[in-house]
Amino acid sequence: MWSGDDIYFMKLALQEAEQADRLDEVPVGAVVVSEGALLGRGHNQPVRMDDPTAHAEILALRSAGAWAKNYRLTGATLYVTLEPCLMCFGALIHARVSRVVYGASDPKVGVSRWLATLDGAALNHRFDFQGGLLEVECREQIQSFFKRRR
């Protein structure tokens, strides 16, 4: 089901999540890829940046947009270690990414719980949404962070 490229890029997202962990941020990492090229990367930094929108996905999209000199990332894939929230889902729609691949599910704020509701919505863009890539590694990274915090 998963290609070698998928695994490689999710491992890069896991490295980004490690960066967040070192900053004592919730360890979520993301990378944006198009035609096999890395366009952008990001890791959670809302506390450090005093910015509630500084999620890994948003920062990776900003990085990719700056590199591409375009806010539209048509044809791109975003790899992220944790299922995107509704805010990030909206940004991914606006960026026109073609595919989102995530590692671990987020039962609290993950967007998949809203997909049935959004299915009838007149969204101006849709993308492939796949989860479970390197799920165990992604979940363990988040769980170990919260265990240390307790």
CB contact at 8 A, 110 and 124? no
- Residue owning tokens 């940046």: 49
Task: Provide the CB-side half-sphere exposure for 32 (13 A, CA).
Answer: 29
Whether 57 is catalytic? yes
DSSP E strands, the chain: 29-34, 37-43, 77-82, 99-104, 128-131
Annotated catalytic residue, options 16, 25, 35, 57: 57
Residues 6+ apart with CB under 8 A from 85: 55, 106, 109, 110, 111
Indicate which residues carry an active-site annotation.
57
